[in-house]
Amino acid sequence: MASKNVLLIFKSNIMYKPVIYRLARDFELVFNILEAKILPRREGRILLELRGSEDVIEKGIRFLEDHRVLVEPLSDKVWREDDKCVHCGACTGLCPTGALSILRPEMTVSFDVEKCVACGMCGLVCPFGAMKDVTLFDPFAEGRPVSQ
């Protein structure tokens, strides 16, 4: 089973429609709301983990877009500059989702971007600035332009 973390942005004209419910009913996708912020009558933002086959996840995303939900994969927003990472492991203890983890016996740090929820913790502790944009990208920043 694949998983994908996405930021959904609902403008006021669609924010009260039950489209997320239909992801489960029509596509049998498993979803997990990681974080949400609603500005009444203006905008809603939801960080969502989608789980299912890759094909069905893509169909679910297309369904959301067809209903005028803006969908931003978090994997487009954060990444690691691998040549800067020295695999010190400092970030792994803080990562709440296991996106950063120590591989054994190699003792290297792997980064699974699909598990990342852009909390920014690794960006604060990495001494080499290897985790890019995690502290700059605030999915809930009011007025943040989409797809910047």
Residues making contact with ligand SF4 (CB under 6 A):
78, 80, 85-91, 94-97, 99-100, 109, 116-122, 125-126, 128, 130-131, 134
Q: Which residue number, 39 or 136, has a Cβ lying nearer to ligand SF4?
A: 136
Q: Which residue number, 56 or 125, has a Cβ lying nearer to ligand SF4?
A: 125
What's the min distance (Å) between Cβ of 114 and ligand SF4? 10
Q: H helices within 14-104, ranges in order?
A: 19-27, 54-66
Residue 118 to residue 50: CA distance in whole angstroms: 15
What's the min distance (Å) between Cβ of 148 and ligand SF4? 17
List Cβ<8 Å contacts ≥24 apart for 122-129.
Answer: 122/91, 122/94, 122/95, 124/94, 125/90, 125/91, 125/94, 126/85, 126/90, 126/91, 127/88, 127/90, 128/84, 128/85, 128/86, 129/81, 129/84
What's the min distance (Å) between Cβ of 20 and ligand SF4? 22
Q: Which residue number, 68 or 89, has a Cβ lying nearer to ligand SF4?
A: 89
What's the min distance (Å) between Cβ of 101 and ligand SF4? 9
Cα torsion at 49, 55, 60, 65 (round to 10°)? 110
Q: Which residue number, 14 or 90, has a Cβ lying nearer to ligand SF4?
A: 90
What's the min distance (Å) between Cβ of 45 and ligand SF4? 17
Q: Which residue number, 19 or 118, has a Cβ lying nearer to ligand SF4?
A: 118
